Amino acid sequence: MTLPYRRILVAGLAAVMLVAMAASGGASTAPAPSTLAEGRHDFDWEIGTWRTTVRVLAEPLSESADQWLDFAGTSVVRQLMDRRANVVELAVAGPSGRIDGLNLRLYEPQDDRWSSTFVNIRDGLLTPSVHGGFHDGVGEFHGDDQLDGRPIKVRFLIFRQGQDKARFEQAFSADGGATWETNWIAVDRRIRR
C-alpha cells in the first residue's frame, strides 16, 4: 500500500544536510537577509511543539476510497538558517502502525515562495517538492508526483485556526487538477512554543 504520508519524511534528510553544512562552515549562496522578501516569515507562527492527529486515506485515487486510518502523536517544527528553512519532525501512531517523517521547507527568495519536501523514515525516499506560499492566511502548495506509476497533481493546504491550532490537507488529482481527492488531514494543537 502506497500511503501519501511519505511526503513529510523526505524533508528530514535534506534538513540534516543543511544543518551539517552550516556546522561545517559550508559556503552559503543565499542572499543577504536584507534582500529577502517577507514570505520568509510565512512559517514563523508554526515554530514549536504540537499535538497532532492525522487521518490518512488508505488507498487514494482508488475505487475503495472510503477507508481512513487514524494516527496521533506530535509534530516538532524547528527553524533553520535564520528562518530561510524549517523542518517538521512528525511522529504519530495508530492501530494500523506508525508514521515517522520529516518535512523540509526551504524559502526561495527569488520567487518569494517555499518548497516543501517530505521523507518517510520507513523508506528514506524524498518525494517531489510542492511549491507555494500563503495568501489571505491560507498556505497553498502544488506539485507533480506519481502514484502507482501514474502521474498525479498534488495540492497541500494549510489553514491557521488561531494562534494555537492549524489544519493541513493534502489532495491528489489524476485529471490534471480538474478534481481533487483529499487523502491526508492533520490537525495540530500547540503544546509549547
Vertex 3, ends 104 and 156: CA angle to 5°? 50
- 71: cell is 494516527
Vertex 84, ends 41 and 130: CA angle to 5°? 90
Mean pLDDT, residues 167-182? 98
CATH number for 6-25+36-192: choose from 3.65.10.10, 2.40.128.20, 1.10.260.40, 3.40.50.300.
2.40.128.20
pLDDT tens for each residue of 106-157: 999 999 999 999 998 888 889 999 999 999 889 999 999 999 999 999 999 9
| E strand intervals along 81-112 | 85-94, 97-108
Q: Are 122 and 49 in contact (CB under 8 A)?
A: no
Enumerate the H helices of the chain as residue ranges. Answer: 6-23
Domain residue ranges in the chain: 6-25+36-192
Task: For residues 145 and 8, give the distance between their C-alpha atoms in angstroms, rounded to a whole number.
Answer: 14
State pTM to two decimals.
Answer: 0.80
The pLDDT of residue 8: 35
Asked if pLDDT for residue 159 goes beyond 70, the answer is yes
